[in-house]
Every structure is written in structure tokens, then in C-alpha cells.
């Protein structure tokens, strides 16, 4: 198939070819970014929380008075431990897929004037790691004497643990054990160990495992979030019993329903908007591809109607039906290719806008060939019916106006 005659024919229909090419370019830009967003959201929904989700029940309380927090924490812990099926109870400031409660900027050097790093600091009481099912990666867990009272925000204990994946970004190629983290002032926190995974309370594609763990004694500033470990089939029953116990033991506090439930339900609730967004983007992609396909079909059908005489002449000169089909497919391939070329540039431009406004990561290059292949396939399928119709134009059409 010679390309020059096809390009000459397209030059006589520049406006129509340009409009279809522009439609392809826009479709390419939106398709690549939408696929990237869908993939990112699906990956986010599958994120490893690092905890035994199917065995955990979380209760988050509001309105806890600091003056009676220690007594309330002791009574609730004893009451929760007495519920049938509860294996252990822990107190914390937050849990994965709930509200964040300890977001801090920190430094790695005491003399650094800038807080260049940011993470979420979990504060957990005794049994926190074992209740959640955390796994030690390096170093050790907190010793009993490292659990201290919690101040306005952080425990008085100077020990800290770090997510192992996050530690590798803070100290690449080095062991994090014994390293110092400075949250405020000159007194730092020494890293005593790392755990394999503990996702932050509000993970997103840009920030997932930047979590740290500190040891605190339940009481003032640490008496609002309770974690109960039970059997996989008992979480619903234990949740109902725990709610009833809170109402009976602490009638003045309010159960925060948005952050209370089984850990499985909290995950599902947290990612509800991501599922909705993914579904919406799938709908956008489907509508976009449908409109693009209809545009290609309409233009190809129009050109078949306009070129019936030329097609008849070619058939009279010996062109086969396959030659006619390949002509229109090649023509469509060229238009789609030019559109994809500009669409790739547009895709990166759209991604830069999304990065600046919504803190999304950069669009990986491998999404471009996927988008190109999808549009090439769409173009060939869309032009096939008009091309087959053109191939059935009889040679006698060439002589009707003679």
C-alpha cells in the first residue's frame, strides 16, 4: 500500500482529518491519565495494612475527659478483656483507615533548621504490636520501661520504631537502628527497631507507609482508641458487645461511628470513594471511546459516500476488495497515529496539571503505549464496517457519469 496517494487524499480533506486527529489526541491524553488513576486507586485499595484486619475491632471515643482518662482507660480495658472471644486489648491514638492523630514534621539531624520529613506517629500502649499482629523487621520491640506518660502530643519515652519501607527511604543503604529523629527541640528519639508494615491512617498514592510508632501509657491523651483482637468469625459479635459495654461503663462519652467498626469494614468504608472514582473513570473511558469510535465511523462513512466513483474506478482497474479495505484501514491508521503523537504530549501536560493541583505522581511512560495500542485497535475496528461497505462498491459505478 503506497502512503503518498493516501496523504494526498487527506490533504484535500484537511479539516475533517484534523478534527478526527484532535479527537484522537484528546482521547489519548484522557485515556492514559484515566488508566493511570484507576490503576493507582486499585493498587491503593489493595495496600497491605500490616495488621490482622479480619481479627480486629476498633472503637474510637470522643469526649474523653483528661482528668478521668486514666481511670476510664483502665475500666474499659478490663471490660473489653472480659468479652467472650477477646484475646487482647490495646490502646492507641489511631488505627489504619481511620482519622489521623499524629502527623508531624521531623528532622534527621539536630542542627538541621528545616523539618524536611513528614510522617504519622502512632502512639500505642502495651500489647499494641501483638494485638495488631505487627511483625518485627529489625531491632526489638519496646521494653516495659520505655512506656511513659503521653504529653500534649508525644510520649515522654525517647524510643521510636519506624516502618521498614519508610526507614529505607530515610536512611538508604544504612541500618536505621540507633539513628535519631528530631520532632522538636534538641531532644531526639532513638530508633530501636523497625516493623515490616503499618500503613498510615489515611494512605494515598503519594504517602502510604510513612508511619512511626512510639510507646505510651494509657491515660491522659491516650484513652480514645481501643483495639480488640478476636477470632476471624467473631468480630461482628464482639463489636456489638463492645459498643454496649461503652454505653454502660462510660455513658458520657460518644462513640465516633466514622472511626468505629471491624477493621475490614473500616477499610471498605475508607476506600468507598476510591471505588466510586474508579467506576466513574471507567464510565468516562467507555463513553470517550464510544464517541471516538462513532466519530471515526461517521467520517469513514462520509468519505466512502464521497468517493464512490473513485472506488469504482479503482475496482475497474483491478483493485480487489481487500485492497479497498486496506486503503481505508491505512488511512485511518495514519490519522490515528498523528492524533496519538500529539495526544502523548497532551497526556503529559494533563498529568502536570494533576500533579500540581492534586499531588498525583508522575505518569509512567509505559501507559503511553497501552493507550496508543487501544486507540489503534479502536480505529481499525471502527473503520472496518465502512471499509467493507466501500469494498462492495461495483466497478460499474465508475461509468455511470460517463
Q: Find where cell 504519622 sits.
A: 120
Q: State residue 402's pLDDT score.
A: 45
Question: DSSP readout, 341-396?
Answer: HHHHHHHHHHHHHHHHHH-PPPPPTTHHHHHHHHHHHHHHHHHHHHHHHHHT--GG
Does 265 map to a domain? Answer: no
Same domain, 117 and 247: yes
Residue 225's SS3 state is: strand
Burial 177-204 (b: 16+ CB within 10 A, else e): bebbbbbeeeebbebbbbbebbbbbbbe
Strands (E), 238-329: 254-255, 261-262
- Tell me the average pLDDT across 162-188: 91
Does 266 map to a domain? Answer: no
pTM metric for this prediction = 0.81
Q: State residue 400's pLDDT score.
A: 61
pLDDT tens digit string along 305-342? 777 777 777 777 777 888 788 888 888 888 888 899 99
Q: State residue 213's pLDDT score.
A: 96
pLDDT at 1 over 60: no
Q: State residue 390's pLDDT score.
A: 79
Q: State residue 122's pLDDT score.
A: 95
Grid cell of 4 as nine digits:
503518498
Same domain, 234 and 192: yes
Percent of the chain scoring above 90 in pLDDT: 50
pLDDT tens digit string along 238-270? 999 999 999 999 888 999 999 999 999 999 999
Single out the residue in 217, 252, 287 at which a domain terminates: 252
Same domain, 83 and 14: no
Single out the residue in 219, 252, 285 at which a domain terminates: 252
CA angle centred on 238, ends 235 and 244, rounded to 5° = 145
Q: State residue 6's pLDDT score.
A: 67
Taking alpha carbons only, the member of 284, 264, 265 closest to residue 276 is 284
Q: Tell me the sheet residues that pair with 229.
A: 56, 88
- Tell me the average pLDDT across 220-225: 88
pLDDT tens digit string along 55-107? 999 999 998 887 888 899 999 999 999 999 999 999 999 999 998 888 889 99
Q: Find where cell 529489625 sits.
A: 138
Does 230 map to a domain? Answer: yes
Same domain, 175 and 82: yes
Taking alpha carbons only, the member of 12, 33, 32, 10 closest to residue 338 is 10
Same domain, 82 and 138: yes
Bigger pLDDT: 360 or 94?
Answer: 94
CA angle centred on 208, ends 206 and 210, rounded to 5° = 105
pLDDT at 401 over 60: no
Same domain, 235 and 165: yes
Residues 386 and 300 sit within 8 Å (Cβ to Cβ) = yes
Bigger pLDDT: 191 or 188?
Answer: 191
Phi-psi region of 33 (alpha: psi -120 to 50; beta: other; left: phi over 0): alpha
Strands (E), 30-96: 56-62, 88-92
Lowest mean pLDDT among 116-120, 148-152, 279-283: 148-152
Bigger pLDDT: 323 or 278?
Answer: 278
Longest dimension (CA), the chain: 104
Single out the residue in 221, 252, 283 at which a domain terminates: 252
Structural domain boundaries, residue 117: 64-252
Lowest mean pLDDT among 4-13, 113-122, 175-184: 4-13
Same domain, 35 and 71: no
Does 259 map to a domain? Answer: no
Does 142 map to a domain? Answer: yes
Same domain, 213 and 328: no
Does 59 map to a domain? Answer: no
Bigger pLDDT: 399 or 370?
Answer: 370
Q: What rounded mean pLDDT belongs to the chain?
A: 88
Residues 56 and 226: their CA atoms lie apart, in Å, by 10
How many alpha carbons fall within 13 Å on the CB side of residue 377? 7
How many domains is the chain partitioned into structurally? 2
Q: State residue 327's pLDDT score.
A: 80
Does 277 map to a domain? Answer: yes
Residues 208 and 194: their CA atoms lie apart, in Å, by 16
Same domain, 31 and 100: no
386 band by pLDDT with thresholds 50, 70 and 90: confident
The answer for residues whose C-beta is within 8 angstroms of residue 326's C-beta and 6 or more apart is 1
Residue 120's SS3 state is: strand
Same domain, 40 and 103: no
Assign 3-state DSSP to the chain and report helix, strand, coil percentages, each to 5: 55, 15, 30
Same domain, 15 and 125: no
Q: State residue 367's pLDDT score.
A: 87
Q: State residue 9's pLDDT score.
A: 65
Grid cell of 77 as nine digits:
480495658
Residues 166, 170, 175, 177, CA torsion sign: negative
- φ and ψ of 325, to 5 deg: -60, -45
In the 8-state DSSP scheme, what is residue 144? G
Does 282 map to a domain? Answer: yes
CA angle centred on 146, ends 144 and 150, rounded to 5° = 115
Which uninterrupted H or E stretch holds 138? strand 136-139
Same domain, 280 and 169: no
Amino acid at each position: 500500500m503506497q502512503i503518498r496517494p493516501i496523504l494526498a487524499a487527506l490533504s484535500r480533506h484537511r479539516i475533517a482529518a484534523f478534527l478526527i486527529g484532535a479527537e484522537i489526541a484528546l482521547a489519548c491524553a484522557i485515556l492514559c491519565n484515566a488508566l493511570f488513576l484507576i490503576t493507582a486507586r486499585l493498587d491503593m485499595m489493595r495496600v497491605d495494612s500490616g495488621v490482622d484486619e479480619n481479627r480486629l475491632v476498633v472503637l474510637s471515643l470522643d469526649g474523653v475527659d483528661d482528668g478521668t482518662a486514666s481511670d476510664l482507660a483502665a475500666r474499659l480495658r478490663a471490660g473489653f478483656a472480659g468479652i467472650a472471644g477477646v484475646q487482647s486489648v490495646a490502646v492507641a491514638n489511631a488505627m489504619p483507615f481511620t482519622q489521623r492523630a499524629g502527623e508531624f514534621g521531623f528532622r534527621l539531624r539536630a542542627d538541621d533548621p528545616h523539618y524536611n520529613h513528614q510522617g504519622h506517629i502512632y502512639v500505642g500502649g502495651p500489647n499494641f504490636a501483638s494485638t495488631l499482629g505487627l511483625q518485627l523487621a529489625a531491632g526489638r520491640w519496646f521494653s516495659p520501661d520505655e512506656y511513659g506518660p503521653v504529653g500534649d502530643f508525644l510520649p515522654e519515652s525517647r524510643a521510636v520504631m519506624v516502618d521498614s519501607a519508610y526507614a529505607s527511604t530515610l536512611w538508604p543503604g544504612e541500618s536505621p537502628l540507633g539513628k535519631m529523629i528530631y520532632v522538636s527541640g534538641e531532644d531526639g528519639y532513638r530508633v530501636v527497631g523497625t516493623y515490616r508494615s503499618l500503613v498510615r491512617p489515611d494512605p494515598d498514592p503519594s504517602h502510604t507507609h510513612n508511619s512511626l510508632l512510639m510507646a505510651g501509657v494509657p491515660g491522659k491523651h491516650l484513652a480514645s482508641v481501643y483495639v480488640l483482637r478476636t477470632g476471624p468469625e467473631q468480630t461482628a459479635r464482639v463489636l456489638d458487645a463492645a459498643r454496649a459495654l461503652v454505653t454502660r461503663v462510660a455513658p458520657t462519652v460518644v462513640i465516633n461511628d466514622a472511626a468505629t467498626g471491624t477493621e475490614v469494614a473500616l477499610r471498605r468504608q475508607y476506600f468507598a470513594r476510591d471505588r466510586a472514582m474508579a467506576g466513574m473513570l471507567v464510565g468516562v473511558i467507555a463513553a470517550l471511546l464510544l464517541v471516538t469510535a462513532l466519530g471515526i465511523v461517521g467520517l469513514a462513512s462520509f468519505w466512502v459516500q464521497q468517493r464512490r466513483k473513485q472506488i469504482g474506478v479503482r475496482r475497474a482497474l483491478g483493485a480487489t476488495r481487500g485492497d479497498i479495505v486496506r486503503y481505508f484501514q491505512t488511512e485511518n491508521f495514519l490519522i490515528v497515529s498523528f492524533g496519538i503523537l500529539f495526544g502523548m504530549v497532551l497526556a503529559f501536560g494533563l498529568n502536570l496539571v494533576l500533579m500540581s493541583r492534586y499531588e498525583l505522581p508522575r505518569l509512567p511512560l509505559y501507559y503511553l503505549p497501552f493507550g496508543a495500542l487501544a486507540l489503534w485497535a479502536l480505529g481499525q475496528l471502527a473503520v472496518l464496517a465502512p471499509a467493507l461497505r466501500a469494498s462492495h462498491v461495483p466497478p460499474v459505478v465508475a461509468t455511470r457519469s460517463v
